Amino acid sequence: MGEFGLKRGIQPWMANLIAIGGIIGSCYFLGTGYLISQMGPSVILLYALGGLIIYTVMQSFAELLVNVPRQGNFISYSAEFISPTWAVGTGWSYWFNWCAYIPSEAVAGGIIMHVFVSEVPVVLWAIAFLLMITILNLIQVGGFGWVESSLAIVKIAHNVIFCIVAALIVLGLIGSAGFIGTSVVFPPNGNLYDDIFPAGWFILIANMALILVNFQGSEIVGLAAAETQDPKKTVPKACRMVVHRIIRVDILPILFLILIIPYAEAGLTDSVFSTALANYGFKEAAAILSFIVLTAAFSCANSGFYGAVRALYGLSLEGMAPRFLSKLNRHCVPMVGTLMTLVCCWLVLSLWWFTNGEGQLYIWLLSVSAFTGAICWISICLAQVVFRKRIYERGYTDADIIAPAPLSPWMPVLIGVVLEVIALVVLAFNEELVGSLYLSIPVVFVPMIVYWVGRKTGRIRGIKFLNPDEKSFDELFPDKRGKL
């Protein structure tokens, strides 16, 4: 096969499921327990804020994808609309984002399996989990589409069933507690502010970065754009539907969760959803939900690996990584990039032996993923703002844009850039998470420095962000002003 042309092996319905499947990972089931234990019922406000951010990012991304199609996606957009140097940092940080996140899913799978088989150490379960991911991602993309979309259905079913059961518990129709209403959130003689913000309001800002991890993977629908059979129709629809799915599939279960479990009982030892049901006598159902978390971890790691390999492929195509990383095998899979990503994931998992256990490693890896992933989201919003500015300068209006992002540039700038930057800066003041910056910051800036020095010395050629079958910005949007 040639260098260019990833196989279009993903159907539109698969792309829609991949969009939501990438969101519901172990961080949702385990990480939410950590967040609830830290901040109580105010976690629902944090999820709403995260939903607003991802809505902004996805609308900006959809506008770019359908108006300026690029196989390298947001890495190409960063190079074209921000700067090549920034694009290098963005691309490598996105790749490493998943190299940190995938092992965190393996750790999560190990934690859950340890609940069922406590005789086997968590670390061995984590190794087995990552081994399964390794094997699965050595097959062609068609296998990815079918597996990921099937696992997404299982995760969605988990949340729907939990909402139904939790609602019946709240109403006292089932369970051992009778009617509880809102008594868990608002106990008798309590103070409204203290009930909602038991750790204070600033905890919303302090944990904002971690909530972003819960929504990472949404951009996978963009990375899959090169492989959908009708990108202009499928991608905008999938991006628009993300916010609706977040409300129905992500935020609604959290609302029911805080209604039935006291925040002091949440944690990282098991799925917080399972813990909640077990408290009301549904131990068998809780065990089933815990097992479903395994599919969530497997699914999110699977879609994340897909995104990582495609990101590395894009880096290679554009001259930001060695050319051999974009070579495709006979199944149209960038196998060398796949192997390199696998090696990095295994190296990250080996950090286990330098931490105080699975809990610390899990949260630390999520923080690294939050930082590097947010850099990419910020880049998407910045690129969209610059794109819009450039076409306006050439005499175009909103009517000339396919799937325009709403309230641009204010919403992308304030929500997609400023708010995310604040979330990352606050990491430096969080004692539990500050250590992640020692790895996150170099991952972003070292590649930028290497590229800048290489360009200055002539050792690195310029970035190539156009494939042979792609039109340049000038071809897509020729200057109208000269025709008036």
What's the confidence (pLDDT) of residue 17?
67
Number of domains in the chain: 1
pLDDT at 483 over 60: no
Mean predicted confidence (pLDDT) in 243-251: 76
Task: Decide if 2 is inside a domain.
Answer: no
| Residue 335 counted as domain residue | yes
Average pLDDT over residues 129-135: 85
Query: Lowest mean pLDDT: which of 13-27, 53-67, 356-370?
Result: 13-27
For residue range 110-121, list pLDDT tens digits in order: 888 888 888 888
User: What does the pLDDT read at residue 247?
Assistant: 74
6 occurs within a structural domain = no
Q: Quick one: what percent of the chain has pLDDT higher than 90?
A: 24
Domain span at residue 343 reads 12-478
What is the distance between the alpha carbons of residues 107 and 8, in angstroms, rounded to a whole number? Answer: 32
Q: Is 7 inside any structural domain? A: no
Q: Which residues contact 98 (CB under 8 A, 6 or more apart)?
A: 304, 305, 307, 308, 311, 341, 369
* Average pLDDT of the segment spanning 416-437: 87
Instruction: Express each pLDDT in 438-463 by its tens digit.
Output: 889 999 999 999 989 988 888 877 77
Q: Above 60 in pLDDT, residue 7? A: no
Give the model's pLDDT for residue 246: 74
Average pLDDT of the segment spanning 73-100: 89
- For residues 477 and 69, give the distance between their C-alpha atoms in angstroms, rounded to a whole number: 13
pLDDT range class, residue 143, cuts 50, 70, 90: low
Cβ neighbours of 264 (radius 10 Å): 10
Residue 271 pLDDT > 70: yes
438, two tokens: 């020692």
Flag whether pLDDT at 484 surpasses 60.
no
Predicted confidence (pLDDT) at residue 227 exceeds the cutoff of 70 = no
The answer to whether residue 133 is domain-embedded is yes
Q: Answer with the residue of higher pLDDT: 2 or 411.
A: 411
pLDDT grade for 353, boundaries at 50, 70 and 90: confident
Mean pLDDT over residues 231-258, rounded?
78
pLDDT band at 19 (very low <50, low <70, confident <90, very high): low
Tens of pLDDT, residue by residue over 180-210, are: 988 989 988 878 899 999 988 888 888 888 8
Task: Please tell me whether the overall predicted TM-score, pTM, comes out greater than 0.95 for this model.
Answer: no
Lowest mean pLDDT among 227-241, 316-330, 373-387: 227-241
Provide the pLDDT for residue 226: 46
Instruction: State the burial class of residue 453 (Cβ atoms within 10 Å of its Cβ: 0-12, 13-18, 19+).
Output: exposed
Kindly list the distances between the CA atom of residue 263 and the CA atoms of 106, 113, 160, 177, in Å, as whole numbers in the listed order: 26, 24, 22, 17
pLDDT bucket at 435, cuts 50 / 70 / 90 = confident
Confidence at residue 101, expressed as pLDDT on a 0 to 100 scale: 87
Q: Is residue 484 part of a domain?
A: no
Lowest-confidence pick of 22-31, 154-163, 214-223, 351-360: 214-223
Buried-exposed string 424-435: b where 16+ CB fall within 10 A, e elsewhere? bebbeebeebeb
In this predicted model, what pLDDT tens digit does every residue of 367-408 receive, in sequence order? Answer: 898 899 899 899 999 999 999 999 999 999 988 998 888 888
Report residue 15 as tokens.
């792309």
pLDDT digits 0-9 by tens, 300-317: 787 778 778 877 887 887
Mean pLDDT, the chain, whole residue set: 83
Predicted local confidence at residue 15, as pLDDT: 62
Burial status of residue 193 (CB atoms within 10 A of its CB: 0-12, 13-18, 19 or more) = exposed
Q: How far apart are the first and last CA of the chain?
A: 46
**Which pLDDT value is given to residue 336?**
87
Angle, CA of 52, 54 and 56, to the nearest 5°: 70
Whether 220 shows a pLDDT value over 70: the answer reads no
Q: How far apart are CA 229 and CA 424, in angstroms?
A: 37
The CATH number assigned to the domain holding 163 equals 1.20.1740.10
139-163 mean pLDDT: 73
Q: What is the 3-state secondary structure (H, E, C) of 153-169?
A: HHHHHHHHHHHHHHHHH
Is residue 228 predicted with pLDDT exceeding 70? Answer: no
Looking at residue 85, what is its pLDDT?
Answer: 92
1 falls within a domain: no
Q: What is the pLDDT of residue 433?
A: 81
Residue 4 within a domain: no
